[in-house]
Amino acid sequence: MLNRTYETQNCSVARALEVVGERWSLLIVRDLMLGYRRFDELHERLGVARNVLAARLERLADEGVIEKALYQERPARYEYHLTEKGRDLWPVIVGLLSWGDRYLTGGAPPVVLEHRECGGLVNDRRICERCGAELGVREAIARPGPGAKKARGRLVPAGRVQPGK
Amino acid sequence: MLNRTYETQNCSVARALEVVGERWSLLIVRDLMLGYRRFDELHERLGVARNVLAARLERLADEGVIEKALYQERPARYEYHLTEKGRDLWPVIVGLLSWGDRYLTGGAPPVVLEHRECGGLVNDRRICERCGAELGVREAIARPGPGAKKARGRLVPAGRVQPGK
């Protein structure tokens, strides 16, 4: 198994990747930002093995990126919420999204981010191109873009609301 | 071995992570942004096995993120340069850096980014906090921050120039 740490590195980029650099971790954070909260939803969207998903959620919780909340008692079922630390990963997600859009989608982004209040597009500095506001994750909404396509009968990714808590 | 693709995902974040999400890839990009260009420099800084480093460089070149340039003929030696596609990963690096600084350094960032022209700090939207300019990677410089420490006799990371080509 690959080592997850970068021990020789005195660098915040390396430290950050130790926490969220494992396969699937940033896609879990992305889906939580899109408003998916339950294990089965995440499992369905990601198509990752259940034990891997469980291990990633456990680690993100240990690191304070997400927290579990009981939503059903018998049997016990949990939802997963981003903490402030988790929501603060939004710039990383937007950075990857913008870069992927530019170079890897053939000009047809599957998702566009809009400023919830005015409908302007969110640029790669997380600034609204219409009104100029500097946006946080809760002020943006993801909508299907020109490259969105039907998968399993519904638009993926759906234009779900951004995380509240 | 882990699969590197996320086949079920119609998402630019997933596509981006397929290209740069493997262990070490983003740290290689970071080091190229800091001005380190040669295999042995990268190997020394990263402390990664030579065959892994070679594989990552090969893949980043295949994806058009970096390109090789011959700098010595006998024996053949290459430098690695970021392409425009590679330099456009700067927002991702800054996102990880800012998040790591905020949550994982105990308030003492190893590195600070400054606007080359006016010396202002670069914030997490890549905007100069002093003059307000929206910055690209070539307009910023990395300097040792309060959390920098000596390693192997020199400041790590060094305040090397940002990539030219």
Q: How many residues does chain B have?
A: 165
CA–CA distance, A28 with A34 (Å, rounded to integer): 10
Residue A72 lies in a domain: yes
Map residue A151 onto helix, strand or coil.
strand
pLDDT tier at A151 (50, 70, 90 boundaries)?
very low
- Tokens 């420490």 belong to residue: B149
Residues A78 and A93 in one domain: no
Residues A138 and A99 in one domain: yes
Task: State CA B141 to chain mean position distance.
Answer: 12
Q: Which helix (H) or strand (E) holds A17?
A: helix A12-20
Instruction: With a cut of 90, say whether residue B128 has pLDDT above it.
Output: yes
Percent of chain B with pLDDT over 70: 88
Q: Which tokens in the block code for residue A155?
A: 């638009």
Chain A residues lying within 8 Å of B91, measured CB to CB = 91, 94-95, 98-99, 124-125
CA–CA distance, A14 with A140 (Å, rounded to integer): 28
Instruction: Give the pLDDT score at A161.
Output: 43
CATH number of the domain that residue B68 is part of: 1.10.10.10
- Domain limits for position A121: 89-156
Residues A65 and A80 in one domain: yes
Q: Which residues contact B56 (CB under 8 A, 6 or more apart)?
A: B22, B24, B25, B28, B48
Residue A74 Cα, gap to closest chain B Cα (Å):
32
Region B141-161: what's the mean pLDDT?
65
pLDDT, tens only, A82-121: 999 999 999 999 999 999 999 999 989 999 999 999 999 9
Instruction: Give the pLDDT score at B9.
Output: 84
Residue B163 lies in a domain: no
User: For chain B, what is the mean pLDDT?
Assistant: 89
Q: Between A45 and A149, where is the model more confident?
A: A45
Instruction: Give the pLDDT score at A149.
Output: 79
Q: Which tokens in the block code for residue A144?
A: 């299907």
Residues A60 and A117 in one domain: no
Instruction: Give the pLDDT score at A35.
Output: 95
pLDDT tier at A5 (50, 70, 90 boundaries)?
confident
Residues A20 and A82 in one domain: yes
CA–CA distance, A88 with A110 (Å, rounded to integer): 23
pLDDT, tens only, B22-74: 999 999 999 999 999 999 999 999 999 999 999 999 999 999 999 999 999 99
Question: Which ipTM did the prediction report?
Answer: 0.89
Residue B132 lies in a domain: yes
pLDDT, tens only, A131-145: 999 999 999 999 999
Residue B103, chain A, CB below 8 Å: the answer is yes
Chain B residues lying within 8 Å of A27, measured CB to CB = 6, 9, 11, 13-14, 17
Number of domains in chain A: 2
CA–CA distance, A42 with A46 (Å, rounded to integer): 6
Q: B115, exposed or middle or buried, with CB in 10 Å at 0-12, 13-18, 19+?
A: buried
Torsions phi, psi for B143 (to 5 deg): -125, 155
Residue A2 lies in a domain: no
Task: State CA A74 to chain mean position distance.
Answer: 29
pLDDT tier at A158 (50, 70, 90 boundaries)?
very low
CA–CA distance, B119 with B128 (Å, rounded to integer): 9
Instruction: Give the pLDDT score at A137.
Output: 97
Residue A46 lies in a domain: yes
Residue A53 lies in a domain: yes
Annotate chain B with three-state secondary structure: CCCCCCCCCCCHHHHHHHHHCCCCHHHHHHHHHCCCCEHHHHHHHHCCCHHHHHHHHHHHHHCCCEEEEEEECCCCEEEEEECHHHHCCHHHHHHHHHHHHHHHCCCCCCEEEEECCCCCEECCCCEECCCCCECCHHHEEEEECCCCEEECCEEECCCCCCCCC
Residues B55 and B113 in one domain: no
Instruction: With a cut of 70, say whether residue B2 has pLDDT above it.
Output: no
Question: Looking at A56, A86, A116, which one is the last position of a domain?
Answer: A86
Residues B56 and B117 in one domain: no
Residues A50 and A99 in one domain: no
Residues A69 and A107 in one domain: no
In chain A the first and final C-alpha atoms are separated, in Å, by 35
Chain A residues lying within 8 Å of B29, measured CB to CB = none
Residues A74 and A29 in one domain: yes
Residues B32 and B67 in one domain: yes
User: For chain A, what is the mean pLDDT?
Assistant: 89
Question: Looking at B83, B108, B134, which one is the last position of a domain?
Answer: B83
Residue B103 lies in a domain: yes
Query: A23–B13: do the CB atoms touch at under 8 Å?
Result: no
Residue B92, chain A, CB below 8 Å: the answer is yes
Residues A99 and A67 in one domain: no
CA–CA distance, A124 with B96 (Å, rounded to integer): 14
Q: Model-level pTM?
A: 0.89
Residue A163 lies in a domain: no
Region B137-164: what's the mean pLDDT?
67
pLDDT tier at A3 (50, 70, 90 boundaries)?
low
Q: Which tokens in the block code for residue A121?
A: 């597009």
Instruction: With a cut of 80, say whether residue A159 has pLDDT above it.
Output: no
Question: Looking at A54, A86, A118, which one is the last position of a domain?
Answer: A86
